[in-house]
Amino acid sequence: MPKPVNRTTPANVVVKLEAADRMMEIMPGVKFKYWTFNGSTPAPFIRVREGDTVEVHLSNPINSGLPHSLDFHASAAPDGTAMVSSTKPGRTTVYRFKTLSSGLYVYHCASIPGAGTHIGKGMFGLMLVEPKEGFPPADKEFYIMQNEFYTNGSFGEQGLQVFSTEKAAYELPDYVVFNGHYGSMQGEKALKAKVGEKIRFYVGNAGPNKASSFHLIGKTFDTVYVEGGTLQNHNVQTTLIPSGGAMISEVTIPVPGQYSFIDHSIFRADKGARGTLMIEGDENPEIFSGKLRDEPYDKRNPDSDIDTGFKH
């Protein structure tokens, strides 16, 4: 995450993006030819201020073989700047747009025909346009993007997998992942924070097809900026992020331990839409006791004469 914008006046912000093909693994042993901006999926997180002028430099290497472009959802321009930014191999396109509205916005390749393929192979990122007064401070900020991969193989099939236009058209993804790879935020790559810290998630959904039911297991979101805009909701268990949309959420966690975040369209978690947030700190038995007992249960027929066990 880039640092917050600590300016009180507009500025000219130069954003340099280069189309780059990269052979990477969706999951161990599953190779896929990613199309990226600046060599990564998702592309860099861009952070600017409302009223800034964004000067975009889009470069396309001579050996790319295809034109690439950019659709900035944050812009006020025909086709989100897609037409003016169309860049042939061996060229660099430069143009500007002004950020008129604060919020969290997706940007992606929008070359026609085949924009869905360019997104489906990894050409997308997020731009945060901070309001003029800035965001309240947070202790930790995390950048997460969900996307789907459609391949000619089955889930987990080893070797080089090729993008499947047919599966994409029928919306049958083999993988639904966070930050471009299966397990990208699990194990040693888990996100880390501490008890009592204010955590802010910037979450985008590149699609190219499915909406995301983003859910943190173990704590409701204290605040959600619905679809990345100014509307706020509170005490939210699961929030919907449409394809091509985003959201901002804030949470403070009072109990240490492992917290998973998933797409609660639950079978997608098995396809990769699962990450881990590790919270360190002192135990808080007033909020959560942990296991108090583990004892035998000797009722012979649990289906008869059921006692709910609730006492008031």
Distance CA 43, CA 27 (A): 19
Distance CA 58, CA 87 (A): 7
Distance CA 216, CA 206 (A): 19
CB atoms within 10 A of CB 300: 5
Distance CA 226, CA 241 (A): 8
Q: Which two tokens stand for residue 23?
A: 């052979």
Three-state helix/strand/coil letters over 103-135:
EEEEEECCCCCCHHHHHHCCCEEEEEEECCCCC
> Exposed/middle/buried for 85, CB within 10 Å: 0-12, 13-18, 19+?
buried
Sheet of 175-178, strand order? 175-178, 140-149, 198-207, 245-252, 221-225, 232-236
Q: Cite the annotated binding site by residue number.
A: 68, 73, 108-109, 118, 123, 264
Q: Cite the annotated binding site for Cu cation by residue number.
A: 68, 73, 108-109, 118, 123, 264
